[in-house]
Structure 1
């Protein structure tokens, strides 16, 4: 056995800072990029472990789409915050408290039903958001929204089909879906939290405040659950904190795994 002793090449420089830094827009893109990046990492955990080979490939392709979304959004965040950091900088060189994704995407998957429910929740939210972003005034977010909405349409269809299949399947599959719905629904409110920066961007037409999407999201997800013969949960509490960098205990080991190669070979590319 031989060992490759070729040293890793230095990492390529990030994108040039935007001539007009905008902290609100940078933070907005960072949040959406973190959502996509962390969910991508969670879905990668199903590779070689999905119920079927076809599903293994489907989840892998969805994760790949999410990675592309994350790269675009994180790169744009680094440009608009004035630092010129690239997507790798923001993915690999931040601590746990610096990530701004919703808690929903970091939760571990106890079973396949939980993954299906999370995909139902997130893909319908993302589809509505990206479709709305396609009409915003910011050219980068608008172009991203148009491309990403087309990709997320498959994610929505995939999640809806599995929701109906499991909801109307066996007694066991229905039980697991009900359990997953009850466990994950309290985390959905955080997707639509309102704050000052997103409200200002929405008022200016530069971006979209997620709160505006709640009613449409409720109608869409309720329609899928009705077809599946499943009830919309009525949670007694709601989760929050992810957008402020406060995460569950599940995120630290996920982040450590994700950043492990970069931390072992900092600045290296192959």
Structure 2
């Protein structure tokens, strides 16, 4: 695989995961359990979508096919998306939302930390800006895991169930393929084996502090997003997200 092709693919993965999770969180605006939490969820969503725009703008430039970030966001079909499976899952209840958020935030934090040392200056700039935001995301989601896990009997049970349910999507974050290995070898991307060790150590420590049981690290893991294979949840999300630009192509406010 050529370097430019691999870089384009890598940037899509970074942008798509942030964009899809941001879209999921936007669904909670007006449905959060408290006003303060609704504002926090909205801010996290805006952060992720802003980061996604930066990654997709760079991807469009690398591709050199005349497409824009908006084209990549709103004109691709489901099989062309490269977001992690974990971020496309339904919001569920508040424990489900926070379990999904924490597991991704922890990965995102470590990933962006490595990318601030990338040999690609554009990636360094985007990652450095995003890391400041994701540091807050992780602090917030970690606090909710501990608050619910070490709270009432009901909140503990729901948090444990949420972690157990979403866990099967966590391993895909570290499933390296040809693109990941090439980007890591060139010093552009992250070594996912190293990230896995850091992520597992931090997740185990946090779950123990929250009085929750960490699921088996060698449990069966879902995967497929890097080949464009997704759960049915993504198609439903894209149908809503892409409706207006597909119905009125080229329209502007």
The TM-score with structure 2 as length reference comes to 0.96
1:268 alignment partner in structure 2 = 251
CA distance in 2, matches of 1:139, 1:268: 34
Q: Are 1:191 and 2:184 counterparts?
A: no
**Unpaired segments of 5 or more residues in structure 1?**
1-19
CA distance in 2, matches of 1:197, 1:104: 20
Q: Are 1:58 and 2:40 counterparts?
A: yes
Q: 1:82 aligns with which of 47, 64, 80?
A: 64
CA drift of 1:221 comes to 1.4
Q: 1:244 aligns with which of 227, 240, 244?
A: 227
Q: Determine if contact 1:75/1:85 at 8 Å carries over to the other structure.
A: no
How many residues of Structure 1 are paired with residues of Structure 2 in the alignment? 251
| SS, match of residue 177 in structure 1 | helix
- List aligned pairs for 1:52-131, cutoff 5 A: 52-131=34-113
Q: 2:192 aligns with which of 207, 210, 219?
A: 210
* Per-residue deviation, residues 183-203 of structure 1 (Å, max 9, x unmatched): 111110100111112211111
The TM-score with structure 1 as length reference comes to 0.90
| SS, match of residue 242 in structure 2 | helix
1:180 alignment partner in structure 2 = 162
Larger Rg computed on CA atoms: 1
CA drift of 1:231 comes to 1.1
1:258 alignment partner in structure 2 = 241
Q: Determine if contact 1:103/1:187 at 8 Å carries over to the other structure.
A: yes
Q: Structure 1 residue runs of 4+, over 6 Å off?
A: none
CA distance in 1, matches of 2:186, 2:219: 35
**Unpaired segments of 5 or more residues in structure 2?**
none
1:11 alignment partner in structure 2 = none
Q: Determine if contact 1:21/1:80 at 8 Å carries over to the other structure.
A: no
CA drift of 1:82 comes to 2.2
CA distance in 1, matches of 2:27, 2:168: 23
